[in-house]
Amino acid sequence: MNLSIHLDTTVNHAVVQEIEDDNLVPAIEAISLNVYYADFLAVREVDIAIQKQKITALIGPSGCGKSTVLRAFNRMNDLIPVARTEGEVLFHGQNIYSQGVDPVEVRKRIGMVFQKPNPFPKSIYDNIAWGARINGFQGKKSQMDDLVEQTLLGAALWDEVKDKLQDSGLSLSGGQQQRLCIARTIAVRPDIILMDEPCSALDPISTLKIEELMRDLSDDYTIIIVTHNMQQAARVSDFTAFFTLTEDRAGVLMEYGNTTDLFTNPKQQVTEDYITGRFG
């Protein structure tokens, strides 16, 4: 299929990169996405189609709106009173911003992992079980035990915590806490996992483990990751989207394509400047 990227014409850039691959199916798609914080336009006219069961990295300099775009995918921006979203985000062909769509349902299908590990101040077991319970889990205790075990196995955390499931989630190390957060997200069985700089608070070893985990998870889940670390984007992602700022400080999507292509052969001068470290 053809994947066309249309950049905003008002910034006088236009790059259309074509990805030829018949196996690709978009999991979620933003069309003319504008996000305002009060009167400030934070993200302008972003069109992007995220591919199913692939890892897409959003990179760019600070303040370019990549986190805002990420949060637009599961309506987390709704929690900010002054935030306002225009345009469409299509998920299973449905605009998640249209009338009658319940943001709670959206967030159940599109989970999120945050920058700072934020396990609930509950036991490790309850960190996993809580999400299932609130989303209507009806099984017996033994089935819940299975679910917790399977989820922790899936998040590559089971071996480290199987003997202390009743300990507080906060007793784990930073990297383990972050994997616990990923685990509790996949316990709800979402389609898409959004990750907002999941490794920025972690040491390199923990980062590596999370990256391995992301590769494993991409067999079953679509993952979108915001990262400041370009090596991480290059290592872990299948596709990369580069965002930058325009003169009025609005974030725009500059270039989007296959990660290898974008890093080895960027089409835009500004992309090349950024990934070679000349700015940002």
Stretch that binds another protein, among 12-20, 50-58, 109-117, 206-214 (CB under 8 A): 109-117
Residue (112 or 254) nearer to another protein, CB: 112
- According to DSSP, the residues that pair with 55 across neighbouring strands are 223
Residue (60 or 131) nearer to another protein, CB: 131
Stretch that binds another protein, among 83-91, 183-191, 222-230, 267-275 (CB under 8 A): 183-191
Q: Which residue of 181, 224, 230, 241 would you call a contact of another protein, by CB under 8 A?
A: 181
Q: Which residue of 52, 61, 84, 130 would you call a contact of another protein, by CB under 8 A?
A: 130
Strands 26-37 and 83-91: antiparallel
Return d(Cα 174, Cα 234) in angstroms, integer: 23
Q: Which residue of 6, 13, 84, 116 would you call a contact of another protein, by CB under 8 A?
A: 116
Smallest gap from residue 122 Cβ to another protein (A): 9
- Residues 59-78 touching another protein, rule: CB under 8 A, are 74, 76
Smallest gap from residue 103 Cβ to another protein (A): 8
Asked if residue 188 binds another protein (CB under 8 A), the reply is yes
Asked if residue 200 binds another protein (CB under 8 A), the reply is no
Residue (69 or 113) nearer to another protein, CB: 113
Q: Which two structure tokens, joined as six digits, stand for 37?
A: 């914080």
Residue (25 or 134) nearer to another protein, CB: 134
Asked if residue 109 binds another protein (CB under 8 A), the reply is yes
Smallest gap from residue 223 Cβ to another protein (A): 14
- According to DSSP, the residues that pair with 29 across neighbouring strands are 49, 90
Contacting positions for another protein (CB under 8 A): 74, 76, 79, 81, 104-105, 107-109, 111-114, 116, 118-121, 130-131, 134-135, 170, 181, 184-185, 188, 190
